[in-house]
Every structure is written in structure tokens, then in C-alpha cells.
Amino acid sequence: MTRRLIILILIFLSAALQCISQIITPDDRLRQIINRDGQAEVTLPFTDKKSAEILTINVSVLSIKDNVIYISLSQLTINWFINQKYNYRILEKKVNARALSAVSVNQASDWGTYPSYTQYDSIMQSFPKLYPSLCRLDTIGTSVKGKLVLALKISVRPDVDGGNPAVFYSSTIHGDEPAGYVMMLHLADYLLKNYSLSDRVKNLVDNLDIWINPLANPDGTYNNGDTINLPTRFNANGYDLNRNFPDPVTPNTVLQKETIDMVIFLRKHRFVLSANFHTGEEVFNYPWDRWPRLHADNDWFVSIGRKYADTVHLNAVSGYMTFLNNGITDGYQWYPVYGGRQDFVTYTLQGREVTIELDNESVSPASQLPLLWQYNWHSFLGYFENALFGIHGLVHDVKTQAPVPAKVFINGYDKDSSQVYSDTLTGRFERFLSPGSWNLTFSALGYFPVNVNNVIVEEGQKTDLIVDMSPIASSIEPINSTTHLLIYPNPAKDILNILLPDKTQGWMNLRIINQSGILIADYDIEVVQGVSVSVDVKRLSPGTYTIIFANANTRARFSGRFVVVN
């Protein structure tokens, strides 16, 4: 073999080895994309519901359609996903930020582009300056990176909370779904500008406390600077915030800062009706997300969802918002979600929240924003109007006329925490129900229960109700007035939720004692400020119990009574 031939062979082998070393596996490519963009999207074939449930527990599922599962991965979930050896396909997605972003506040205020974060802050600050008698700006909290999570209250009494039923719109909890962000800014502007021009807008603002949070995840949306460049679904720590709320069955103990702030805000205002806006599909999604069974108020949810979608169909191009059941779906029937805000609000806070997907595109083209507004703004107003209908009541002490915090329950109908409670400070409650005749039961610690039968609910009408409750002379004082614990549902069958006073946090000892003084449970539990503690009481015998929280270091001690029923 000649020397020249040997050299050629060596050169060939070297080149071949170099090519082999440069071959990138799909797993390597997936890691590269996540390192570069902060997330990656993949698809898997849909096989069965159980497999989908395993996925949604461990990664962020975006959608299931046409027998394909769409998934978003972050640094937190990539290792688990790769270790499962799925046969996946990578979806390459890019965002042209320069084509999306406004060049000035004035351009952003035309609602046909995406604002920078600085422009967004300026727009939100401008609302109360221009309309001081109609709105106020509040801060829900801050993101991991310190960006403000803002909420605007629009009301004829912006500085007084509790005067009217409170409703809430929130958008872009997923940072790479910003169309709703612009829609909410546009909606706030529309309500304020048209208060004196539109009877419909005036009716809403006069009779509701309207809260709008355009941007729930600023770190995800502005992941790479002041403009929308590489938006991510996740927060700065890689968490999907819409899978991070306390779950009614398996409480999430790793709550992110944005989640904790939002939970405190939601608990404070106790919104009777709310919606969470997304993109990625076009559908009105209602509870439950985590259970295959239906919510007790399923017929009502279907009705308001149908009204939203049908109104959209009157104002949109053919084919818009026709996904699944012609634009509406029960969440679990689409795909299961655990730790979602929708179920947290509806189950734990007894509110009524839905999830509204506005566009098939995750990051809607800027040119699409005016069209999405035209398709949806009538439905935005119509959804708010649902809070004006149904039963609106007051619960009072018959002797003193003081407000009574009562449980409002419908026997043989309510389940899964679907009851509502009258407000502690005002005694007011709202119960949204399908048209019909309803029998309500009012119960409160220290009071005789009251049954109010044949309460008529009519479509698109408000039914006023005043309920007087008689105190029991020898009763135990109400829990809230002596112990500062909020215990619900009470009585309970399965899960008991206890909210401790504000600023209570850290490890505490929890003890449960029965009526005979026997210690039933004794263990330590970590308390997160503003987040309720969930206690499983399924194994307890029916009866009355005392629950005690104690912190040996601070000497804080809180106790209350609860009842377990079959």
C-alpha cells in the first residue's frame, strides 16, 4: 500500500469519525432548544386517558387533538420526560419579536401590537390618572425577577371593596400566550372610555366590582428583556403557574411566588365569577379539569359557555371557536389538569371560574389582535353580565340585623364544594343557577338552620332574597369571631380546609381532639401564608372535633371546631 493511499484512508476515517461525533440525538436536540429558548414543544400519539393523566401530572400538556398530545417541556421536566423513552416529535417554533412589538406607548394603545413591559406599566398607570373616579391600580405581587403583577379595579366606588359582586379577568398566566394580555388592556380602555356613552357598560360598572389582571406571568412573557422576544410558558423558575395552585386532592407544596401572591389576592376578594384567558386553541373550558365527574352546576356552566361561544360565532369569521363541542368543553373531557387555577377558585374558594382559549396560535400575530377583539368583545361583556343574574341575597341575625356568615346549600344537588357562603362583613351572597325552582338551606355556627323553598330563578334575571337567622342561646361562639380560623366546608365529609390568619407561616404542630378529649391526630405541618391547610377527615367518625395549631417558637396558637358527617 502506497504512502499516498494510506494518507487518503486516514483522512477519510478522520472525516467519518468527525461526522459520527457530530450526529445529534433527538434528546440532545431537545436539551439544546430548552437551553436556548427556556422551553421546547413536542408531540406524542394519544393512546389512552390513563397515559395522558400520567403525562399531565409530570409535564405541561398543552392540548390533545386529532389523537395527538402536545407538550411543553422546561428545565424542570426534561429529565423525567427523556427517561420515559417516549417516541416523540420536536416542534420547532420561533417568534419574530420585532414584528410584534410597539415602538411607543401611543402605538401600543391602538391595541394592534404588543407593548414592551415599560409601555405596559405606563398604560396601566395612566388609567387611574385619566379616570380617577372609575378605577384604581393595585398590585397583586411581584414575579420571581421583581416585575409587578398588576390588577386594575373598575367600579363606581373604586376605593371601596365589597360594595358590589366582584368579578375578575386574568390573562397570560402562560407567558407565551400574550393575545389575551392585549385583549384585557383593550377591554379596560373600552370600559373606561364608554362608561358615559354605553348603557350596557354603565350597567356593568355601576353594579359590579370589575378587576382586570392583563399579565399574570411577566417573567415568562418578557423572558429575554423589555420586549417580547423569546416568551416562555413558564415562570423564571421553570414552573407552569397554571399547574401550581393548591389541588383539592393532592395539595401542591412547591408554590411559586406568583402563585402565592395570586392565592392571597383571590382569597381577599372572593370573586363570584372569573375567567382565565389563554391561547393555543379556541374554546370555552369549564370545570372540572381534574375530575371526570361533572360539576353540580354543569348545566349552568354549559349555558354560559354556549352563550359566550354563540355570541362569538355571530361576530367572527366562519370556523372560529368551533373546537370540540362547537367551541365549549368540560375540562377533563379535553384533557386532565392538576393544580389549575380554574379548579382551585371553583372548589376551594367557591367561585365560578372558566378558562377561555382565544386563538389557535400560541403567540398570535400582531395583525390578528384587532380581529380577536372584534370576535370576542361582545362576549367579554356578556360573561360579566352573568354575575348580575341568579340569586342575590343577604343573611342577617334576626335580632341585631348583623351579617351572618352562612353556608348556602342545596340538598340533593350540591357536591364537590359547590355550595357558596355569605360574606362575613356584609352577609351578601350570590348563587348562580339554571332557571327553575330551588330549595336553599342556610346554616351557620350559633344559629338555627333556615330552609327557604321554591326560590325562582329565571333566565337573565336577578332574584333578590333576604334571610333572617335566629341565634341559639347556648351555642358555641362562631369560629371566626374567637379563633381567627376560617374552616370550610364545615360540616365536612372528606377534606377539611383551614385558612390561618394573615402572616401566619412556617412549621406548626397540628392536633385534633374529639369530644371526649381524646387526641386523634398530632403531627407537624408547614403553613404557607395565604394558602389553606388541607386535612383528610374521611377516617374520622361523625361528630364534633377541635383542631389546634401551635408554634412553639412564636407561641402562636389557634383553635377551632369542626363537624364530620357521613
For residue 116, is pLDDT > 50? yes
Identity of the amino acid at 410 = I
**pLDDT at residue 276, rounded to an integer:** 98
Whole-model pTM: value is 0.84
Other C-beta atoms closer than 10 Å to the C-beta of 353 total 23
Asked if 390-469 and 483-564 have one fold, the answer is yes
- Contacts with 138 (C-beta within 8 Å, 6 or more apart), sequence order: 150, 151, 152, 153
Q: Strands, DSSP E only, in 288-337?
A: 328-330
For residue 479, is pLDDT > 50? no
Q: How far apart are CA 70 and CA 237, in angstroms?
A: 22
Looking at the domain covering 3-91, what would its CATH class be? alpha beta
* CATH code assigned to 390-469: 2.60.40.1120
Q: What percent of the chain has pLDDT over 90?
A: 70
**Of the ranges 174-183, 253-262, 399-408, 478-487, which is most confident?**
174-183
Own/partner contacts of 423-429, CB < 8 Å, gap of 24 or more, are 423/162, 423/270, 424/480, 425/162, 426/162, 426/394, 427/394, 427/395, 427/396, 427/402, 427/403, 428/165, 428/392, 428/393, 428/394, 428/403, 429/391, 429/392, 429/393, 429/394, 429/395
Chosen CATH of 483-564 out of 1.10.286.10, 2.60.110.10, 2.60.40.3080, 3.10.20.70: 2.60.40.3080
Q: Tell me the β-bridge partners of 394.
A: 428, 466
Q: Tell me the β-bridge partners of 511.
A: 522, 548
Question: How do residues 333-367 score in pLDDT, each as one tens digit?
Answer: 999 999 999 999 999 899 999 999 999 999 999 99
Instruction: Report how far Cα 296 is from the mean position of its chain's Cα atoms.
Output: 19
For residue 460, is pLDDT > 90? yes
For residue 20, is pLDDT > 50? no
Cα 367-92-31 angle, rounded to 5 deg = 135
**pLDDT at residue 15, rounded to an integer:** 54
**pLDDT at residue 481, rounded to an integer:** 37
Q: How far apart are CA 123 and CA 131, in angstroms?
A: 12
Query: What is the gyration radius of the CA atoms in the chain, in angstroms?
Result: 26
Q: What percent of the chain has pLDDT over 70?
A: 92
State the fold for domain 97-386. Answer: Aminopeptidase (3.40.630)
Residue 95: exposed, middle, or buried by beta-carbon count in 10 A (0-12, 13-18, 19+)?
Answer: middle
Q: How far apart are CA 65 and CA 43, in angstroms?
A: 11
Judged by DSSP in three states, 545 sits in: strand
For residue 3, is pLDDT > 70? no
Own/partner contacts of 33-37, CB < 8 Å, gap of 24 or more, are 33/90, 33/92, 34/73, 34/74, 34/75, 34/78, 37/230, 37/232
Reference 388, options 159, 169, 187, 203; nearest CA is 203
Question: How do residues 299-317 score in pLDDT, each as one tens digit?
Answer: 999 999 999 999 999 999 9
The pLDDT mean for the chain works out to 90
Give the domain ranges of the chain.
Answer: 3-91, 97-386, 390-469, 483-564
Residues in the chain: 566
**pLDDT at residue 539, rounded to an integer:** 81
Do the Cβ atoms of 358 and 372 come closer than 8 Å? yes
Identity of the amino acid at 116 = S
Q: How far apart are CA 461 and CA 455, in angstroms?
A: 13
* 500-516 mean pLDDT: 81
Instruction: Report how far Cα 340 is from the mean position of its chain's Cα atoms.
Output: 6
For residue 97, is pLDDT > 50? no
What is the strand order of the sheet 428-431 is part of?
Answer: 428-431, 390-397, 462-469
